[in-house]
Structure 1
Amino acid sequence: MFVNSADTFVADALRGLVASTDDIAWQPDPGFLSRRDRIPQGRVALLSGGGSGHEPMHAGFIGEGMLTAVCPGLVFTSPNALQVHEASRAISAGGGVLHIVKNYTGDVMNFHIARELLREDGIETDFVLVDDDVATERSDGDGPGRRGTAATVVVEKVCGAAAQRGDSLEAVAALGRRVASNARSMAVALGPCTLPGSAAPSFDLPEDEIELGIGIHGERGTSRVPTMSARDIVAELTGAVVASLALERGDTVLAFVNGLGGTHPLELHLLFGELAEYLSDKGITIARTLVGTFVTALNMAGASITLVRVDEEILRLWDAPTSAPGWPNAAQSEYHGVGERGSFGPSFTPSVTSSDASIFVGEWVSSWVRRVLDEEPDLTDLDRKAGDGDFGTNMVAALHRLDLDSIREELPAATVFEAVSEAYLGHAGGTSGALFGLWFRQFYRALGKTVDLDAIARAARHGLDSITELGGAQVGDKTMVDAIAPAVAALEGAALEGATSLVAGLQAAAVAAMEGAASTRELTANRGRASYVGEAARGVTDPGALVMAWYFEAASDAAESVLAQ
């Protein structure tokens, strides 16, 4: 992989993208790409986004007839809520803003938070959730549901054409939902991807085996089987897609064969030939085709097959022209030069002011931050085994921007927690960015100059309630909630006793949180990306739960060293 630095990989790539395209501009703070030319007043604006590493989705689909703007996150990490909020505000032209969101927990949460903020701004919004991956389909309805994968670009194309012809926000959203509900995909990997700066692939795969049902974030698949012929692979993937869509003889579809980043066009066209024959044998008519590399998982050797049940209106919108550079036959016509190095990449610097301080909170938060930063390699390794390996990166993306010296200089408790919250919401992205940002926002709201057991218990309760309301996770789902919930119970129990000191209450919370985190080793995840690997995550401690256990341990240690003197 061509890399200057793993830390600047996305920023360096964005710099080149903008330099090589006509109608794409970069807004560095808080970080989004948009059309250079504003859309007409009264027209619906389309915003999509997600983790980098899937190119040309989404940035390559900015242009007339497709997307108005895109919020890129770090590699395989959702954009944060502030990116989505500011991008939506910037592109709004009075006709409303439609968010096209892939069904990944971090994407769903951060776009949701952004829409809440936009509602306060008086900007009308709606969203289309794309959930096409049959590999994560569960008949019991538990878990986060089907992931959003290659069908996203079909939704973006159809919605973009509808917005271009002047449809209302309600109409464009309805079309997008119609496409999404009639689309299914499934993918296979012949070899895993490798993240920038990583010495190891996202998962281990012997040369004589393939991985069925993989995700686009480097996740392992739902089954591993011996290598088989292209014909048999197509039958395996397409059979699952056809069954999920309940396609019957006489149905009409758009057939899409997509490369995951490391697959040659010859291979993709070979797969399409097998797909066309398979569908013909089933009596299913192909109305339109798309073959190429459009939704990638960095350099993964593999492919996905997407089928979309279509009607005449969807076909007309599919055929409508677009200037998006990533769409077939779109080309650059004018060179705009290259921006300054280092000016590309989401930017956030929390605002911290000096005032009377709490030594306890400064010691608590700074020691926790330092531990998380020091343990990033182990956190990344845990997440690589149980999910997609971006948790440690997200922690560092937020926390390394904090000025620990200022935090230790006895800043007010609320100021400290506000800085941590905004660092997560403004820079981390992903599920962790949203959830940790909300968690610390509750501490910012609840803690003033007086930091006592009641205030901390109240802040922790509000934080837990916010997280469970947004993400839906409960105890036993193998998430950060497994550490937080018992700690909150311990804090509330200690507060009810009345005579229990803050030191004793935090000690009890730390023990409860660590026991909760340890319990996740034997759990099977029902929420977050770890849920997509199922039993493969058993035996691995959830990194989010572990970090929260460290948070309560740091509180206990700080209380003992500062307040018990």
Structure 2
Amino acid sequence: MQTKHFFSDPNHLVLTALNALTITNPSLAYDREHKVIFRRPDASATPKVSIISGGGSGHEPAFAGFVGKGMLTASAAGSIFASPSAEQVRTAAMHRVETKKGVFIITMNYTGDVLHFGMAAEKARAAGIKTEFYAIGDDVGVGRKKSGKVGRRGLAGGILILKIVGALAEKGGSLEEVYRLAKLTNENLVTLGSSLEHVHVPGRDLPEETVPADQVEVGMGIHNEAGSHRIKATLVELVQTMLLQLLDPNDADRAYIATKPEDQFVLLINNLGSVSVLELAGITDEVVRQLGRDYKIKPVRVIQGTFLTSLNGLGFSVSLLKLVDTGLGAGKSMLELIDAPAEAVGWAAPIQTATWENRSDAPVDTLTVKSDEEKPSNLKVDPAVLKKVLSAGLKRLIAAEPLITRYDTVVGDGDCGAGLKRGAEAILALLEGTTLTDDAVRTVNEIVNVVEHSMDGTSGAIYAIFLNALAHGLRTQDQGSATPVTVETWAAALTSSIAALGKYTPAQVGDRTLVDALVPFCTTLAESKDVKAAARAAEKGTESTKHLRASLGRSVYVGSEEEWLGKVPDPGAYGLSEFLTGLAEAV
């Protein structure tokens, strides 16, 4: 494992690497505070759909390296192997790109990225910006059985999706067309990576797990995640194994695309970071040879290079995209969109002379978007009553923190109680220190702002997405004249919030998460219009989690089931149920 680096401070490394993109491509600008790379505004350009991507650093040139004409409009970067925050992505979507034709937020299918990018998408949508979200999943290394509800991981094949949708947006494609094409391309895309060794992050200790010197890990992810298995193999044998996982129609766990003799393919050979150019070329030769010999596939395009890395990963990935009809007409086939020019340093096309001649170091003014959050609504509540019931629920949740923490120490990492308490105390401080208005939407948005700034982790993202969607669900019921908010109004908004949350997490009732309390509450409230009955349903749902095996979250792999099965409820569900019970008792 290569552990020597020129940089010892990973944070400094990320910031300087991002700034370097503006040096090598003068059409770009850099928001250092939010770690956002974006295209400089061009007043003469025709408005188009803006495409925003991003993810953890360490995967260069992805994702900021693909910002430029013909590809992405902006990209948000996290620290090494960590998702950027929702605030970073929201800033990109609402203040760094044009929004007239809509915004397409697209990231790789990893939990943190989906939640944070999804939260930003809901925030942009709530602000009145036409927004679509999509998570790329092209990996076959972890099959259907193991990946379960989470789905396929996003790997290098996803760069082909970014290239295709970027070209379509540049040609004037609508937001709906861009979204549909991303989905269609992903449905015809498979990728598999293999690596000789784990990677080392600058400034960190050596990892305990390594790959034995005489073995290769098939299916290793881009963050050192385990693959399907390890083998002792020559390159020829390794490629045979990989192509079988990619194309075997009899492998029900991994057969994501069906092939016919007339099908055409694009092949992408990607360097995970430390394979020499010489070896990568030899790998490409072997892959193409075996595709023709064993599968009668002669790719119409072979793209070789470094597109999505894993720092200094000593491995490569193979992606195959089956070309299908886009239904978009001349000039907008998958192949034409891949071949379309792009001015991004991570892609193969060079930067044009005119771009250098028009370079500018002038600061870029922040775009101002008038958010729907700032607009008053006609949905009226009694501020005193709202403060009373919310405060009762929050105080009950705060009092339950020791027990929530004890539960989470057994089945999780012990931070659930502290996170919920921190958020509850912050909202309570808002209620006690602010004179609430009778505007229901404005009040919910104020609470959303507090949650986004005080709660982190997965639960913070889930609550923020849900509450953003709740504000949007309320506003859709505004009829233009002063209307009191009823139980029916809240129930309808909560129902739409559940649907919105489902876009960003696969969690459902029975998965042993806070959803086991949240969904029964919302469903019962919609059916009975009785808050107390809804709270009892949440409590019953929470109690049921004691007997459920976890399928999502840290409980999947933390602790022994014998220690808690039948005894300990899901901590997140318990905390939410305590809040809802306190709220119901105060009604």
TM-score tier after normalising by the smaller chain length: 0.5 to 0.7
Letter in structure 2 aligned against 1:188: S
The residue that corresponds to 1:45 in the other structure is 49
Is the 1:194–1:200 contact (alpha carbons within 8 Å) kept by the matching residues of 2?
yes
Is the 1:193–1:202 contact (alpha carbons within 8 Å) kept by the matching residues of 2?
no
Q: Shift of residue 59 of structure 1?
A: 0.5
CA distance 1:260–1:431, change in 2 (3 Å): farther
Identity of aligned residues (%): 26
The residue that corresponds to 1:449 in the other structure is none
Is 1:130 matched up with 2:162?
no
Q: Shift of residue 306 of structure 1?
A: 0.3
The residue that corresponds to 1:436 in the other structure is 463
Please say which of residues 122-131 and 52-61 is displaced more in the overlay. Answer: 122-131
Is the 1:483–1:548 contact (alpha carbons within 8 Å) kept by the matching residues of 2?
yes
Secondary structure at the counterpart of residue 135 of structure 1 = coil
Is the 2:122–2:465 contact (alpha carbons within 8 Å) kept by the matching residues of 1?
no
CA distance 1:246–1:19, change in 2 (3 Å): same
Is 1:166 matched up with 2:172?
yes
Please say which of residues 479-488 and 129-138 is displaced more in the overlay. Answer: 479-488
Letter in structure 1 aligned against 2:195: A
Distance 1:114 1:102 in 2: 15
The residue that corresponds to 1:272 in the other structure is 284
CA distance 1:124–1:468, change in 2 (3 Å): closer
Letter in structure 1 aligned against 2:163: K
1:474 to 500, 508, 511: 508
Q: Shift of residue 304 of structure 1?
A: 1.5
The residue that corresponds to 2:344 in the other structure is 324
Q: Shift of residue 232 of structure 1?
A: 2.0
RMSD: 5.8
The residue that corresponds to 1:55 in the other structure is 60
Is the 2:72–2:166 contact (alpha carbons within 8 Å) kept by the matching residues of 1?
yes
2:263 to 237, 240, 251: 251
The residue that corresponds to 1:296 in the other structure is 309
Please say which of residues 287-296 and 109-118 is displaced more in the overlay. Answer: 109-118
1:32 to 36, 41, 63: 36
Is 1:422 matched up with 2:455?
no
Q: Shift of residue 307 of structure 1?
A: 0.5
The residue that corresponds to 1:347 in the other structure is none
Q: Shift of residue 249 of structure 1?
A: 3.7
Q: 5 Å matches for 1:452-463?
A: none
Is the 2:138–2:153 contact (alpha carbons within 8 Å) kept by the matching residues of 1?
yes
The residue that corresponds to 1:451 in the other structure is none
CA distance 1:231–1:538, change in 2 (3 Å): farther
Distance 2:13 2:403 in 1: 25
CA distance 1:392–1:180, change in 2 (3 Å): farther
Distance 1:25 1:116 in 2: 25
Determine which structure has more spread, i.e. the larger CA radius of gyration: 2
Q: 5 Å matches for 1:205-224?
A: 205-221=211-227, 223-224=228-229
The residue that corresponds to 1:225 in the other structure is 230
Is the 1:189–1:214 contact (alpha carbons within 8 Å) kept by the matching residues of 2?
yes
1:295-344 residue CA offsets vs partner (Å, 9 max, x unmatched) = 123343332110112369322322222210111253595887899xxxxx
2:318 to 301, 305, 308: 305
The answer for unaligned runs of 5 or more in structure 1 is: 340-354, 384-390, 446-453, 490-495, 499-504, 560-565
Q: Shift of residue 90 of structure 1?
A: 4.1
Is the 1:67–1:160 contact (alpha carbons within 8 Å) kept by the matching residues of 2?
yes
Distance 1:517 1:78 in 2: 31
Q: Shift of residue 257 of structure 1?
A: 1.3
1:361-391 residue CA offsets vs partner (Å, 9 max, x unmatched) = 898888999999x99xx99x968xxxxxxx9
Distance 2:454 2:307 in 1: 26
Q: TM-score, normalised by structure 1?
A: 0.68
The answer for unaligned runs of 5 or more in structure 2 is: 249-254, 325-330, 364-382, 473-486, 524-529
Is the 2:50–2:99 contact (alpha carbons within 8 Å) kept by the matching residues of 1?
no
Question: How many residue pairs were aligned?
Answer: 515
1:471-491 residue CA offsets vs partner (Å, 9 max, x unmatched) = 2413442545468789999xx
Is the 1:438–1:466 contact (alpha carbons within 8 Å) kept by the matching residues of 2?
no
Secondary structure at the counterpart of residue 191 of structure 1 = coil
The residue that corresponds to 2:159 in the other structure is 153
Please say which of residues 164-173 and 56-65 is displaced more in the overlay. Answer: 164-173
Distance 1:367 1:208 in 2: 55
Is the 2:144–2:151 contact (alpha carbons within 8 Å) kept by the matching residues of 1?
yes
Q: Shift of residue 111 of structure 1?
A: 4.6
Letter in structure 1 aligned against 2:31: Q
Please say which of residues 256-265 and 405-414 is displaced more in the overlay. Answer: 405-414
Distance 2:513 2:74 in 1: 32
CA distance 1:444–1:333, change in 2 (3 Å): closer
Is the 2:397–2:575 contact (alpha carbons within 8 Å) kept by the matching residues of 1?
no
Distance 2:575 2:134 in 1: 37
CA distance 1:174–1:440, change in 2 (3 Å): closer
Q: Shift of residue 85 of structure 1?
A: 6.7
Secondary structure at the counterpart of residue 201 of structure 1 = coil
Is 1:234 matched up with 2:232?
no
